[in-house]
Every structure is written in structure tokens, then in C-alpha cells.
Amino acid sequence: MTVIPAVESLLISISASTSASTATLPIFLPLAIEGSHITAAAAILGYACLGATLGTCTGLVPGFHVNSVAFLLVGIAPTLPGSPVAVGAAVLAGGIVHTFLSVVPGLVLGVPEAATAPGVLPGHRLVLNGCGHEAIRLSALGSAIALVVAVTLALPLSWIISAGEQHLRSVLPVLLIGVALALAGTESTWKARIGGLCCAVLATGFGILTLDLPAAGPIAPPGAESMLGPIFAGLFGTPVLLDALGSDGEIPPQQRSAVGLSGKKTVRAALAGAGGGALVGYLPGVSAGVAATLALGGAGGETDADETDRPYVVATSGADTATAVFAVASLVVLGSPRSGVTVALSTLGEVSGEAPAGLLTLLLIVIFAASLGIVLLVTVGEWYLTVVRRLPRQPLVGCVLIFITGLAVGFGGLLGGAVFSLSTLIGLIPPRIGVRRVHLMGVLLGPVALM
């Protein structure tokens, strides 16, 4: 079967040699602390702060994915006064901070009416119980713990994966099919497991048909056109908003901010998320939501919600942050861009003719941006939750839906708008047959496994 080019880009390093990747992306890019290097370091720090600001904005605007900003930065990179390292710092910091802040609008805008509350995501249930601020703090804790673990393990784990990359390539289809089956196994009943597999198969067919369609939107930077934005916005973003638009649910006052999860359980959930993040960082097509679901064995469903919701929030946030770290290590050591942000960094290197940065520099930027992200999540995130809760819900959701549709057409053209509409219809199916929407990640898992 011919490999879909959009999927093929996820497999760059598995077919490339480690020596070739390290020749173009050095492991260490020294930053001396004397002379002109002080100015260079200051520029990198300044661009990282700029990226963090952009990541905050994109994270707090539902439907505005950080990948869009990343590729826009790459598109205008030749006109910016900074070096490729500095522009790369902005791209990476924006991606990191976005993963922290993006949890907040999801907590606010996805909350349904009380009658449908048992079927919603764990974070939504916490908000319905007045624990939105607690959910934000749980998210910050999960990210902080996972950051420490991922930074410690990123380099040695990358070298281990590098040593066995040929074997990994040979067993990759089996691994990805195993991931899809394991996801189905996390459902609580056989009916739901079959439903989850059907959703995965449907998403696989949809991915094969649409991933390689030409995207030619007016705001898509040259060379960065992709159907991934319209597809993912439709599968995972718009359906939640449509359900919220059609409900009369209100966000109750958020009174509880104390963390109601023991330190031991918090660390355990964060470690599970970090382990899942390693899967995302090195296996194409696996998302942080998939990783968290597998790591917790399906926790976060309707059963024993009080016991599973808090660990799920911690693990998911930990998986998001760990994914960012492992994806950077995968890019440098394996030459493999495993996320939109690392694809943008790789593209930046091709545009500029030199490596954006080495692993040491990139990891320092990750640590800096993640530290900012934790502070911003707890401060700006809690403020955002308080303010948006008081706004008229349905007009707000309606404006967001219009905005997301405009982005889909802007980045994918009229064809992208059609793909977005169809993916939205598919995204409405899982909760209506009683399964998790995470099975729709088959849109990437399936085409990669069937290459």
C-alpha cells in the first residue's frame, strides 16, 4: 500500500540513520557566557518569552491550535531579526506553554447540562462539582512532576530507541494495532469495546481518504499546508462545543481549590502520564489522550468518577508535558518530528540551512517554558475560569464555533472546510454510542499501521 505523504512525515527518523540526523541536529549547541554570546543568549530568552506569550494566547482561545502559530513563525522566520536558534526558541516555548493553558477553555466551554453530566470528561465533572480551580492545580502538579521525569530520561531513552530503530520499524504496525486494541479494552463493557473498535476503523478509513488531500487555505504558510488542522478540530473540538451549544448547562461557582488527591496518588498518576508521554514521543500517531487512557487503564470513565477523575487530570497533563520533552529528544537524536511543533522546528532548520538548536539548548528552553507554563496555568488559568464562567454561555460557544470554522477554511481552503464538516459528524458519534472519543485517533494510528 502506498504510504500517505502526510503520514510519511511522521516516520522520517525511523527510516533515517542516527548518524545522519545528528549531523544536521547537533546534540549540544554551546552557549558561551561571554562577549557576543551574551547578546545571543538574551535574544533566545526574549524570543522564548515571545513564544510563551503566543502560546498563552493560543491556549486560551478554543480551537486555535499552537501548530498554526508554529508554522506561521516558520513562514516569517526569514524576515525576523533573530537567529534560527532564537526563532526556534519562540516556536518551542509557544508549544510548551500552549499545552499548559489549553486545558482551561476545555474545562469551561465543554460543561454540559446536569442530565448529561455522567457522560462527560473528568475535568468537566470536576467543574460541575465546583472544583475547577482544583482541576487546574492538579493539571499543574501533573505537568511539573512529569517534566522532571521526562527531562531526566529523555536522552538515555532516545539513545536506546536509536539503537533499536530498525527493529522498531519492523514491529511498528503490530505495536500500533496493539495500541488500538488496548484502547478498546479500556472500555467497561463488550458492547462499548466493539463500539470503540468500530470508531477506530471508521477513523482509519477517514484518515486514508483525507490526510493527503491538498490544503490550500489563504492563511496557510507555503510548505506548511496540511489537513491535520481541519481533521482534528472536527473530530475532537467542534463536537464538544456543539453539545455545549445545545445544552442549558451552567457553570456553577468554583469554590474548592484545595487538591483532593493524596501526594502518593498524584505522583503515581503523573508517573503514569510521563510513561505514556514516552509512547507519544516515539510512536507516530499516538496522542497524549491515548497515552493517559492506557496509562490509567481506562480511568476517568463513568464508573467511580470520584476516584478516577483527579488522577486522570494529573496523568493527562503529565502526558502532555512529557510528550513535548520526548518529542524534542526524538527530533534531535532520531531526526524524527513527532509533533506539530517539532515538525515546525525541523522545517525551520531546512529553511535557514542550519540546525535550530542542539539538545541541551532545546531542553533548557523546554524547562524555562514549562516553568512559565505552570505559573501561568495557576494564575491566568484560574482568572480565566472565573471571568469566562460569568459570560453568556451559548453566544460565547457560538462565536468559538464560527472562529474554528474560519480557521479550518483559512488553513485548508474550501476542501478543508468540507473535511472539517465531515470530521465533525464523525466526532459526534462516540459519545452517542457510549464510548470515548479517543478511539478516533485511529485517523492517524490506522494509516500508519497499514502503510
Dig out the grid coordinates for 182 from the structure.
488496548
- Calculate ∠ Cα 328-95-411, nearest 5°: 115
Distance CA(321)–CA(348), nearest Å, equals: 22
DSSP 234: I
Distance CA(385)–CA(103), nearest Å, equals: 11
Q: What are phi and psi of 217, to 5 degrees?
A: -80, 155
Write the pLDDT tens digit of every residue in 313-349.
888 888 888 888 888 887 777 666 666 677 667 766 6
Residue 441 contacts residue 286 (beta carbons within 8 Å): yes
Write the pLDDT tens digit of every residue in 187-218.
888 999 999 999 999 999 999 999 888 887 78
Write the pLDDT tens digit of every residue in 268-286.
889 888 888 887 777 777 7
pLDDT band per the 50, 70, 90 thresholds, residue 307: low
Dig out the grid coordinates for 371 from the structure.
516553568
pTM of the model: 0.75
Write the pLDDT tens digit of every residue in 340-356.
677 667 766 665 555 55
Look up residue 254 and give its amino acid: Q
DSSP string, 346-366: HHHHHHHTS-S--HHHHHHHH
CB atoms < 10 A from the CB of 223, how many? 11
What pLDDT is attached to residue 168? 76
Distance CA(393)–CA(214), nearest Å, equals: 36
Judge residue 11's burial from the number of C-beta atoms within 10 Å of its C-beta, 0-12 exposed, 13-18 middle, 19 or more buried. Answer: middle
